[in-house]
Structure 1
Amino acid sequence: MHDAQPLIVTLVGGLVLAFIFGMAAHRLKLPALAGYLLAGVVAGPFTPGYVANAHLAQELAELGVILLMFGVGLHFSLKDLLEVKAVAIPGALVQMAATTALGMVLGWALDWPLAQGFVFGLALSVASTVVLLRALEERHLFETSRGRIAVGWLIVEDLAMVLALVLLPALASVGSPDQAESGRSLWITIAMTLGKVGLFVALMLIVGKRFIPWLLKFVAHSGSRELFRLAVLAIALGIAFGAAQLFGVSFELGAFLAGMMMGESKLAQQAAEDTLPLRDAFAVLFFVSIGMLFNWHVLLEHPLTVLAAFLIITLGKGLVAYVIVRAFGRPKRTAITIGISLAQIGEFSFILASLGVSLGFLSGPARDILLAAAIVSILVNPLMFKWLDRLREEPASEVATDIPFVATGQTGHVVVVGYGRVGRATVQDLQAAGHRVLVVDLVEERVAELRGQGVEAVLGQASGDDVLDVLNLPGATALIVTIPDPFESGEVVRVARAKHPGLFIVARAHDTEPAVHLAAQGASEVVMAETETGRAMVALLPAHG
């Protein structure tokens, strides 16, 4: 047995179990993360059989959180964050205060010490980065106002928790005999923490904004894709680690700012694609590591307390967030999305709970109750999002870009699914050729843009029955699916083909395997970018001879 084996066993065991239980969950039409969590429970110390190294699993999971926040930063700019600051900053702070108060009320009802109720409530107030971002990513909400508010809210919570984790040890010493000295020490700690965070942010905005895009461009000119990928990972992980070690900033915030600065480069899209496989793999390990913490005995010993904590996380925190967002004049759909996004807790809550136990603020049973409520909230959160997905859009008086699904009156039209770069070019070419077009997209801003141009557009998931039924596919000339993800586009093709066997369907693919998959799902024609590029280049050559 070699010393390195615990790492290998934990990594392999976690991924294999996650795959097995994730596939089982998918077959049962449950969220895949339910399978990942169950894999963690099986690999954890509270069930018989194989037990993975919990410490190593949590460190591997931390890599997933870093890469995920880095990927989010690539899609954001400082302008995006400043646009939502009026809602995100006061909203996050008020919501955290209200949820902490609810936790303290629960602690008072259970005769807990005031400090324990406070730490318990504070842990309930902060949402999981991974759960929230995966939900937004799956629904393509990053580019919407709802997504930007949610991410801005998350960043504020992150900063607040950084401060809380620094202050808790200082608060533990406030009860010392020299009360005045303890008070001064507390204020010095607050000032130093805020100063370090401010210095790091300023350094990234002034130096990082120029240096990181320049470095990426320099590496790209080397012509080595391997070096480019290495540079992307080195920047993401290096800045996250440096932020934590030198400035006391969380890994997550450091990675987010690194991604945001890299987003200034024209190579940001390539950087995002290169880190995607690692992000997905380590994000899975995050859920496995959470499942390993689950002590199922607490459900038998404190069922009502776990239920109360769960209700605070979901109903209490969700309702508080909903009321706050509505108070700022935002639409109901936006408020519901933010409320559901925050109706779960995760990694920061666990870190805070562990620190609280080590400082004597939190008891072991209270920590177990917190972990149980967190895991149940993570399991339920995807179901809440599924409910949100089924909600029909609000009336035009509520949100100008959202109208109820109304069957199109068009015939002989072309339905285009996806209005990204390829979808936009496709629509322009179709219009230039005189075709009538109907577009389906998940991003509100894109749909609003199309409607503003007089183009009929539907906001929704194209594989859903409620959307397909209003597109008049039997009367359409063709269905063109421009979504880059082969699994997502394959599902659209499969459902459309099952409903309309005679429909002409064109889909896009980047490689041979996705092309075969799309053809198997029912695509009439599959266009591969590389093949079409080659044909176009050959067509440009002068006639031979």
Structure 2
Amino acid sequence: MQEDFRLIIDLVTVLGIAAIGGLLAALLKQPTLLGYLIGGMIVGPAGLGWIKEVVQVETLAQFGVAFLLFTLGVSFSLSEIKKVQGISLGGGILQILLTILVTTGISLWVGWVNSPQEGVFLGAILSLSSTAVVLRSLMDSNSTNTPPGQVMLGILVVQDLAVGLMLAVLPALDKPPEELGIALAWALVQIALIAGGAVIAGIWLIPPLLRLLARTESRELFLLGVVALCLGIALLTDRLGLSIEIGAFIAGLMISEVEYADQTLSYVEPLRDIFATLFFAAIGMLIDPVFLWNHWELILGLVALVIIGKFCIITPIVKLFGYSWKTALITGIGLTQIGEFSFVLASEGQSLGLVSRQVYLLILGTTAVTLIVTPFLLKAVPLLMGLPWFQAWFQNDDRVIEMGETELPQQNHLIVCGYGRVGQSIVQLLREQNYPVLVIDQSEEAIQKLRQTDIPYLYGNASSPTVLEKAGVSQALGMAIALSDSMSTRLCLKRGLEFAPELDVIVRANQDKDIELLYQLGAREVVQPEFEASLELAAHLLFSLGLSEPKIQRQVQNIRNRHYQDLRGERSAMLVSRELRQAARDLNSQWQTLADNSPVLGMSLKDIELRQLTGATLLAVMRADGTEIDYPGGETELQAGDRLLITGQPTEIKAAQALFSEPTPFVTPILNGGHGNGDVIANLWLMLPPDSAGINCPLGEVGLPQGVIVQALRRDGIFSMLPNADIILEGGDRLLLRGPVNDLTLAGDILTARSVLLASPQLEAV
């Protein structure tokens, strides 16, 4: 077969198998990169042998590496590093150096390498994490703007930037020890000279050239010019003794600050993706499946060593830079894998003879496995957070890091949790109407904006009970939650309602599956931005077509009242159930079976008021006949044999279990033999105002009417059933009273009065 035709067949084969492998990986919710690697393994010389000459494919794959580094340089942004510049620059560099140092020492001690140079090279490979995998996982969980997400992305930017330096210094590691220092110095001098030339070209030459290309308004000509520029500079650096990869990266940096950077990136990315696919498939062809099978125990051991080692290095570094244990833990877990650019280093290192083929194959196998397990590790983080022995680590998350210089409003104010784009819009509208506003956020960038605009704020975790208490949630008029993290949103809502069960809370849902859960947790209104945009667009369109505005508004409001169900479409019961259980695991949950003598049998959830009474939330009911009710409504009545999925803190779940299993005086309103309203036995929640005369008095000496009993007391989020008569009342206490309606009204007047009305009658013995 002719050589040129053989190359075409090989390219079609590689791209085809890579597409199939990437598709399967995507369907399994794994990084597509893994599909490319496995596809290459299958068709390579060590697999089915469909491609025997890997050299030609590797040559074309070099273009993929060049374009990868070129687009990395173009997309490089100093503004991203500035957001978390301390941990990005200081922590990122420290992490790389420590990983190299530790790896060098361990690899020399164990005998994996034969020289310190090889140990340094191995450490450089292990120090890199996967930007592609981490970014995809953060986007899937909507966590890119959370503190752990910002820290991870900041460190990843520095790691990616270090790839260029590593590739430049790599040839120097191949020198004898006595020449190594001179070689390293010369490599750094070359980098400095080339960087200086790149700065000059980036200021004086590149912008006019790109403007000239853009003026032609020809997409093909612009793309051709950019590709020629990238590869031309890459070849120039290769001639100067540096690698093609560092030249491509420098070319990208030269364009990154030009106004055409985004246009360049959009043109080059499809080309980059095709050639990068070739590169990763070519790497897969070099992996020997038989070798991996014969050494699977060693590879799994290396995977465990890499994950534990990087976690033990990264987590203390993040904590050292002043972040909470929660942020440090999530960052440490998120960056434990080996990155895709490690393949670039490993391939270059093998060609330079820095590692043997056996070590090279071990590196490839270990890297692939770490990429596979990373998404699972990140998904396991919420489960770890729920373990009791982890709670002590997160105590620092509860503190208020900083308060605004403006006096914080403490009564009749509105709290906005999250100061992103949505939060900023809410604050602006509220301030225009002269409402007192308090903002809670833990992003340094957001806090800086609040400082500049002199808006009252708390710098801390909005889901922390300590921070919410400091914000005066129990005295607020309402609260808007616009956090980017779904888990923080749920916890903020739940803990806010623990302080003020009747608080009007409006919540932004980050994902469709969160809507029903947030309503179940007590949100007064749940807003989904994408659905709201659809409603507004449709409303404007219908109005332009002549439909009356009142009719449009009624239709839109009906959709909102049905929780966007018309827009969400039909979802299978299995899918809803799976999402529900995932949310329940994140929130700490437990199943409880109703006994035949349970006092709540036959009662509706609306009458029980489980969340107000205990702080716990009922997410699902499993009937004795197997029927499952997910997110039950207030009209749902409990029956004997029901299994209840309860979520909340351990003390809240325990209180709910006591309510369901112990005979208590908590009953639904009933007629008590008479026909007047005064004979109706009812329940009443009442909060003691700060100026109540009953404060600092024993409960039994307040002077409640004889027919009224106190069924429960909630203080600081803690529930007590049937409190003792000698308990001292405090401002903010919430009391659940039971008795005839007229007596309840009188009891409410007594407890909220500014002076003691009655003091002699004793509380009915309970």
TM bin (shorter chain): 0.5 to 0.7
Counterparts in 2 of 1:500 and 1:255: CA distance versus 1, 3 Å:
farther
When the two chains are superposed, the root-mean-square deviation of aligned CA atoms in Å is 5.1
> Contact 2:117 / 2:174 at 8 angstroms: preserved in 1?
no
- Superposed CA deviations along residues 80-138 of structure 1, whole A, max 9, x for unmatched, are 89765444434422321112212222226xxx645797377436533155546745874
SS of residue in 2 equivalent to 1:193: helix
What are the residue-to-residue correspondences of 1:124-143 with 2, within 5 Å?
124-128=125-129, 130-131=131-132, 134=135, 138=139, 139-140=143-144
- Superposed CA deviations along residues 362-394 of structure 1, whole A, max 9, x for unmatched, are 433332222221211222223333345777687
Identify the match of residue 264 of structure 1 among 246, 257, 260: 257
> Contact 1:219 / 1:228 at 8 angstroms: preserved in 2?
yes
Give the Cα separation in 2 of the matches to 1:64 and 1:86.
28
Question: Are 1:59 and 2:70 an aligned pair?
Answer: no
Give the Cα separation in 2 of the matches to 1:425 and 1:47.
57
Counterparts in 2 of 1:283 and 1:7: CA distance versus 1, 3 Å:
closer
> Contact 2:337 / 2:374 at 8 angstroms: preserved in 1?
yes
Identify the match of residue 161 of structure 2 among 145, 155, 160: 155
Give the Cα separation in 2 of the matches to 1:224 and 1:39.
36
What are the residue-to-residue correspondences of 1:175-214 with 2, within 5 Å?
183=178, 186-214=180-208
Counterparts in 2 of 1:37 and 1:260: CA distance versus 1, 3 Å:
same
> Contact 1:46 / 1:294 at 8 angstroms: preserved in 2?
yes
SS of residue in 2 equivalent to 1:21: helix
**What residue in structure 1 maps to residue 103 of structure 2?**
99
Question: Are 1:169 and 2:174 an aligned pair?
Answer: yes
What are the residue-to-residue correspondences of 1:109-124 with 2, within 5 Å?
113-114=114-115, 118=119, 121-122=122-123, 124=125
Counterparts in 2 of 1:381 and 1:434: CA distance versus 1, 3 Å:
same
Give the Cα separation in 2 of the matches to 1:438 and 1:285.
53
What are the residue-to-residue correspondences of 1:495-506 with 2, within 5 Å?
495-496=514-515
Give the Cα separation in 1 of the matches to 2:412 and 2:225.
51
Give the Cα separation in 2 of the matches to 1:284 and 1:389.
33
**What residue in structure 2 maps to residue 444 of structure 1?**
443
Give the Cα separation in 1 of the matches to 2:166 and 2:251.
19
* Distance apart, 1:73 and its partner CA: 0.9
Give the TM-score taking structure 2 as reference length: 0.50
Question: Are 1:248 and 2:242 an aligned pair?
Answer: yes
Give the Cα separation in 1 of the matches to 2:529 and 2:45.
47
Question: Are 1:6 and 2:10 an aligned pair?
Answer: yes
* Distance apart, 1:256 and its partner CA: 4.7
Counterparts in 2 of 1:431 and 1:218: CA distance versus 1, 3 Å:
farther
* Distance apart, 1:451 and its partner CA: 6.4
Question: Are 1:46 and 2:61 an aligned pair?
Answer: no
Give the Cα separation in 1 of the matches to 2:415 and 2:218.
41
**What residue in structure 2 maps to residue 298 of structure 1?**
291
Amino acid in the other structure paired with 1:382: P
> Contact 1:61 / 1:282 at 8 angstroms: preserved in 2?
yes
Counterparts in 2 of 1:217 and 1:313: CA distance versus 1, 3 Å:
same
Amino acid in the other structure paired with 1:118: G
> Contact 1:14 / 1:40 at 8 angstroms: preserved in 2?
yes
Amino acid in the other structure paired with 1:159: L
- Structure 1 window deviating more from structure 2 (329-338 vs 7-16): it is 329-338
Counterparts in 2 of 1:168 and 1:266: CA distance versus 1, 3 Å:
closer
- Structure 1 window deviating more from structure 2 (443-452 vs 309-318): it is 443-452
| Number of aligned residues | 482
Give the Cα separation in 1 of the matches to 2:288 and 2:412.
59
* Distance apart, 1:208 and its partner CA: 1.3
**What residue in structure 1 maps to residue 369 of structure 2?**
376
- Structure 1 window deviating more from structure 2 (7-16 vs 323-332): it is 323-332
- Bigger-Rg structure (1/2): 2
Give the Cα separation in 2 of the matches to 1:136 and 1:504.
25
Amino acid in the other structure paired with 1:10: V
- Structure 1 window deviating more from structure 2 (88-97 vs 206-215): it is 206-215
What are the residue-to-residue correspondences of 1:443-462 with 2, within 5 Å?
444-449=443-448, 453-454=455-456, 462=484
> Contact 2:17 / 2:39 at 8 angstroms: preserved in 1?
no
Q: Which has the higher strand share?
A: 2
Amino acid in the other structure paired with 2:65: E
SS of residue in 1 equivalent to 2:76: helix
**What residue in structure 2 maps to residue 467 of structure 1?**
489
Amino acid in the other structure paired with 2:361: D
Give the TM-score taking structure 1 as reference length: 0.67
Amino acid in the other structure paired with 2:255: M
> Contact 1:44 / 1:291 at 8 angstroms: preserved in 2?
yes
* Distance apart, 1:199 and its partner CA: 0.9
Q: Percent identity?
A: 27
Amino acid in the other structure paired with 2:25: F
Counterparts in 2 of 1:135 and 1:319: CA distance versus 1, 3 Å:
farther
Counterparts in 2 of 1:410 and 1:22: CA distance versus 1, 3 Å:
farther
Q: Which has the higher helix share?
A: 1
Counterparts in 2 of 1:4 and 1:476: CA distance versus 1, 3 Å:
farther
**What residue in structure 1 maps to residue 535 of structure 2?**
525
* Distance apart, 1:268 and its partner CA: 4.0
Amino acid in the other structure paired with 1:196: Q
> Contact 2:44 / 2:286 at 8 angstroms: preserved in 1?
yes
Counterparts in 2 of 1:449 and 1:497: CA distance versus 1, 3 Å:
farther
Counterparts in 2 of 1:40 and 1:277: CA distance versus 1, 3 Å:
same
Give the Cα separation in 2 of the matches to 1:497 and 1:271.
43
- Superposed CA deviations along residues 253-309 of structure 1, whole A, max 9, x for unmatched, are 545554444343345445445555555565555554444443232344333432332
SS of residue in 2 equivalent to 1:46: coil
What are the residue-to-residue correspondences of 1:18-57 with 2, within 5 Å?
18-23=22-27, 25-26=28-29, 30-48=30-48, 51=51, 55=58
Give the Cα separation in 2 of the matches to 1:294 and 1:355.
15
- Structure 1 window deviating more from structure 2 (330-339 vs 202-211): it is 330-339
Give the Cα separation in 2 of the matches to 1:242 and 1:161.
15
Give the Cα separation in 1 of the matches to 2:516 and 2:222.
40
Give the Cα separation in 2 of the matches to 1:382 and 1:389.
13
Give the Cα separation in 1 of the matches to 2:132 and 2:230.
20
SS of residue in 2 equivalent to 1:70: helix
> Contact 1:419 / 1:446 at 8 angstroms: preserved in 2?
no
* Distance apart, 1:197 and its partner CA: 0.6
**What residue in structure 1 maps to residue 574 of structure 2?**
none
- Structure 1 window deviating more from structure 2 (293-302 vs 344-353): it is 344-353
> Contact 1:33 / 1:379 at 8 angstroms: preserved in 2?
no
**What residue in structure 1 maps to residue 314 of structure 2?**
321
> Contact 1:21 / 1:35 at 8 angstroms: preserved in 2?
yes
Give the Cα separation in 2 of the matches to 1:82 and 1:446.
11
Give the Cα separation in 2 of the matches to 1:269 and 1:388.
35
Give the Cα separation in 1 of the matches to 2:200 and 2:60.
36
Counterparts in 2 of 1:158 and 1:300: CA distance versus 1, 3 Å:
same
Give the Cα separation in 2 of the matches to 1:68 and 1:440.
37
- Superposed CA deviations along residues 132-162 of structure 1, whole A, max 9, x for unmatched, are 6745874536993553333224434642453
Give the Cα separation in 1 of the matches to 2:363 and 2:13.
28
Structure 2: 5+ residue stretches without partners: 386-393, 404-409, 464-481, 545-766
Amino acid in the other structure paired with 2:161: I
Amino acid in the other structure paired with 1:419: G
Structure 1: 5+ residue stretches without partners: 175-182, 403-408, 482-488, 509-518, 535-545
Amino acid in the other structure paired with 1:205: V
Give the Cα separation in 2 of the matches to 1:155 and 1:238.
21
